[in-house]
Amino acid sequence: MEKIIGSLVGVSYHAFDIVYDLLFTTERVIAFIIQHPNDIPHQHPSMMEDVFFGSMLRKPREKPERVKIAQERRRSLQEKTLDELVALHPSNFEVRYSAVTSVEVTRGLFQSQLMFNISSPSAREQKVRFSLSKKQIPDAQGLLDLVLLSKIKGK
């Protein structure tokens, strides 16, 4: 029976403002979306505000609303089964350990990443990258040691 091993909360995927939580199980990593830029409809700023400030003035006003949406999503997801988590939103997905050819955590000057190299049926290798904060690196490495030790690059 599949069991939950641990999680990484609040990782970025594709862009800094698309946030996922990752749930590591005994068979797969489940990525479920927590925050997306489209969660809050954009309020149309005045032409001058848009030209001179862009979204800089809008972001602080939206932050409390985004935090509330993320908390509500996390609370509602607690009652779901693992398969329901994957199917709940079209942006949710899973990475099966059996498809992973290698995995690594890279530390960069501006950004750290958790990268899964995955083999696909079309024989093309695919890369799935999540951006990590510096605080998340030890947790990510610890989880990988538990579930994909033989596939960690450099070990």
Question: What's the pLDDT at 128?
Answer: 94
Question: What's the pLDDT at 130?
Answer: 96
Question: What's the pLDDT at 41?
Answer: 59
* Parts of the chain with a pLDDT under 70: 40-62, 123, 154-155
Question: What's the pLDDT at 148?
Answer: 95
DSSP E strand boundaries for 36-150: 93-96, 100-107, 112-119, 125-132
* 3-state SS assignment for residue 151: helix
pTM for the whole thing? 0.80
Burial readout 5-28 (b: 16 or more C-beta within 10 A, e: otherwise): eeebeebbbeeeebbbbbbbbebb
For the beta carbon of residue 57, count every other beta carbon within 10 angstroms. Answer: 12
Of residues 1, 49, 6, 51, the one with CA closest to residue 25: 6
Question: What's the pLDDT at 36?
Answer: 80
The C-alpha atoms of residue 42 and residue 12 are separated, in whole angstroms, by 21
Question: What's the pLDDT at 123?
Answer: 67
Q: Which amino acid is at 76?
A: S
Per the structure block, which two tokens stand in for 23? Answer: 């749930």
Domain boundaries, the chain: 4-150
CATH topology of domain 4-150: PH-domain like (2.30.29)
Question: What's the pLDDT at 103?
Answer: 97
